[in-house]
Amino acid sequence: MGTAYFYHLTRKPLQETLPTLLEKALAAGWRIAVRGRDPQRLAWLDEALWQGADRSFLAHGVAGGPHDALQPILLTTSAQAPNAASCVMSVDGAEVTAEEVAALERVCILFDGTDDEAVQQARSQWKRLTEAGCRAQYWSEASGRWEKKAESGA
C-alpha cells in the first residue's frame, strides 16, 4: 500500500517544485503520471518542464501521443496512465482515489497555499483518503525548507 504525500506550496511555485519531486521519483525507479484537470494548464506545464532548470533535463510527454507507454513522465488529465505509472503527482486539484493510493508506490498532491480554494480542496482530499484508511503525510515549506507537519495511518 502506498502513501499520499500532500505538498503545501507556499514559497516556490509549482513549476519550481514539481521538477524536484519528479527527479526524486525517477531516482526511485518509478514512472510518473502528472495529473491535472485542465489541458491548457498541462500544456503550460509541459513547456515549463522542457525549458527546465539549467541543471537537469526531464524527458516527458503529454498524453495522446504515439509513445505514451514509453514516457517516464506523462502529463495527463485522465486517471488511466498508459505509461504504467507507479507514482501519480496530482496538480491543480486533480482527484486521486483511495484505490489508487493503495495500488501505487506513491501519490503526491501538490497544492497552492496562496489559493484558499486549493487549500480547502486539499483538506477535503486528505479527509476522504485518510477516512478510507490511506496513509498520508502533510509537508509544508513555510519555514523555508520542507518539513513533515502531520502523518496519518499505519
pLDDT digits (tens, 9 = 90+) for 96-150: 999 999 999 999 999 999 999 999 999 999 999 999 999 999 999 988 899 999 9
Residue 20 has pLDDT above 70, yes or no: yes
- Rounded Cα–Cα distance for residues 140 and 8 (Å): 5
Q: How many domains does the chain have?
A: 1
Phi/psi for 106 (5° steps) reads: -155, 145
- Rounded Cα–Cα distance for residues 43 and 76 (Å): 10
Strand (E) positions, 30-146? Answer: 32-35, 61-62, 73-76, 87-90, 106-112, 135-140
Phi/psi for 17 (5° steps) reads: -80, -45
Residue 55 has pLDDT above 70, yes or no: no
Give the type of residue at 137: Q
Of the candidates 101, 83, 105, the residue with the CA atom closest to the CA atom of residue 31: 83
Neighbours of 8 (CB within 10 A): 20
What pLDDT score was predicted for residue 47?
Answer: 86
| Mean per-residue pLDDT of the chain | 92
Q: How confident is the model at residue 2 (pLDDT cuts 50, 70, 90)?
A: confident
Phi-psi region of 152 (alpha: psi -120 to 50; beta: other; left: phi over 0): beta
Q: Which domain holds residue 7?
A: 3-152
Residue 93 has pLDDT above 90, yes or no: yes
- Rounded Cα–Cα distance for residues 98 and 72 (Å): 23
Residue 49 has pLDDT above 90, yes or no: no
What pLDDT score was predicted for residue 56?
Answer: 61
What CATH number did the domain enclosing 20 receive? Answer: 3.40.50.10110
